[in-house]
């Protein structure tokens, strides 16, 4: 069996901000070098530091909902939302109502090992790059015409 490092905080943050776990660990060390700068640091982290790293990459809002992970996901998350959660002394990321951490990569919250653990801390995360609006199909066609591209008409 693969030995899992105790880096659930940096792993969950990495899933949310879209970087590798080692890059996420560097961000924790940059944020608090006294606590996370040691060469032998394996990844154990605190809620406040995870939230601080996330705030550098987007908007973080605390959620008051509690209960088991399974009920929390059912009652307090959206299909497109991203969340930083602490359950039973363990950090996980919820993306599209799936579990991401140093154990799972897109697991169903009802069937993962944390499903019955109580949510003690919960934060909704919105990345800054999500604020960029994708152009509509009509806008893309108009831009193509303005650029002088000829488009085939639909039959």
Q: What is the per-residue DSSP string for 139-155? A: HHHHHHHHTT---PPP-
Tell me how far apart the alpha carbons of residues 14 and 24 are, in angstroms, rounded to a whole number.
5
Tell me how far apart the alpha carbons of residues 61 and 80 are, in angstroms, rounded to a whole number.
16
pLDDT, the chain, mean: 83
Q: Most distant CA pair in the chain: distance in Å? A: 66
pLDDT of residue 5: 67
pTM given for the model:
0.77
The pLDDT tens digits for 1-31 are: 455 567 889 999 999 998 888 888 899 999 9
The pLDDT tens digits for 69-105 are: 999 999 999 888 999 999 988 999 999 999 998 888 8
Asked if residues 101 and 91 have their Cβ atoms less than 8 Å apart, the reply is yes
Which region holds residue 145: left if phi is over 0, alpha if psi is between -120 and 50, else beta? alpha
């Amino acid at each position: 069996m693969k030995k899992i490092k105790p880096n659930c905080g940096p792993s969950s943050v990495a899933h949310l901000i879209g970087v590798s776990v080692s890059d996420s660990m560097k961000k924790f060390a940059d944020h608090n070098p006294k606590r996370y700068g040691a060469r032998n640091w394996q990844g154990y982290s605190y809620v406040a530091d995870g939230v601080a790293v996330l705030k550098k990459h987007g908007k973080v809002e605390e959620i008051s909902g509690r209960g088991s992970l399974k009920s929390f996901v059912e009652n307090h998350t959206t299909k497109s939302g991203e969340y930083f959660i602490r359950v039973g002394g363990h950090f996980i990321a919820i993306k599209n109502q799936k579990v991401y951490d140093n154990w799972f990569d897109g697991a169903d919250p009802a069937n993962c090992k944390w499903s019955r653990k109580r949510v003690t801390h919960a934060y909704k995360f919105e990345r800054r790059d999500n604020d960029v609006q994708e152009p509509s199909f009509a806008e893309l066609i108009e831009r193509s015409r303005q650029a002088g591209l000829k488009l085939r008409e639909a039959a």
